[in-house]
Amino acid sequence: GAVVSQHPSRVICKSGTSVKIECRSLDFQATTMFWYRQFPKQSLMLMATSNEGSKATYEQGVEKDKFLINHASLTLSTLTVTSAHPEDSSFYICSASGTGFNNSPLHFGNGTRLTVT
Amino acid sequence: GDSVTQMEGPVTLSEEAFLTINCTYTATGYPSLFWYVQYPGEGLQLLLKATKADDKGSNKGFEATYRKETTSFHLEKGSVQVSDSAVYFCALMGRGATNKLIFGTGTLLAVQP
């Protein structure tokens, strides 16, 4: 079945630095990728939707200059948390869908636990 | 807009007990409905889905029936195991949407031996 790989699984960084998270589709072409954020004991909040080769669409309240999303190829999307602060500490999860996946379940990565000290 | 409401947890059960996790939705048209499971420290895995009214999704002993009249998609299992302990998310995807999932808040299930 379709597999989505997310890397790194855990990252600890100092306040003010930037962190890049990668999301790869391993056996299909992901025309659309989604980035979610999950706070402790809460649901997933959609941050943005990215389509290959175009700018990401951000949800209301998500700072596009802080959470940079690049979807340069059909198998890779990256989320960069710029100038990270402790309040950015969270669990970030990507998901991907490809052509012919209409109304089919998205495939999720295993998530990245970000801790900003 | 579209939304999903789940019963709050945590739900604590003994092994072999019957499980129900309630889920209701609000959506225009006829969305597809999903249950996802998240084990500790991991991402989400699709548990089951239903794409039209009266469909029953099932997997690993879990079942959920798409009820249009009550706009519900309750998750059930006849006999839970310790290994079922996880967070369960109900979700919907609207018709014509670009595969955008809307999640409920999740329900933590803890099964005790």
Q: Do A46 and B93 touch (CB under 8 A)?
A: no
Phi then psi dihedrals of residue B2, to 5 deg: -65, 145
The pLDDT mean for chain A works out to 88
**Closest Cα in chain B to A93:** B43
Q: For residue range B89-109, what is the model confidence (pLDDT) as tens digits? A: 999 988 765 678 889 989 999
**pLDDT value at position B62?**
98
Q: For residue range A49-105, what is the model confidence (pLDDT) as tens digits? A: 998 888 899 999 999 999 999 988 889 999 999 999 999 999 999 998 876 555 456
Higher per-residue confidence, B15 vs B41:
B15
CB A71 within 8 Å of CB A50: yes
Dist CA B60 CA B99 (whole Å): 25
DSSP 8-state code for residue A52: T
Report yes or no: B13 at the A interface, CB cutoff 8 Å.
Answer: no
**Closest Cα in chain A to B90:** A43
Compute the nearest-CA separation of A93 from chain B (Å).
7
Q: For residue range B33-67, what is the model confidence (pLDDT) as tens digits? A: 999 998 887 788 899 999 999 999 999 999 999 99
Chain B positions touching A110 (Cβ under 8 A) are 42-43
Chain B positions touching A46 (Cβ under 8 A) are 100-102
Report yes or no: B89 at the A interface, CB cutoff 8 Å.
Answer: yes
* C-alpha dihedral sign at A98, A77, B40, A59: negative
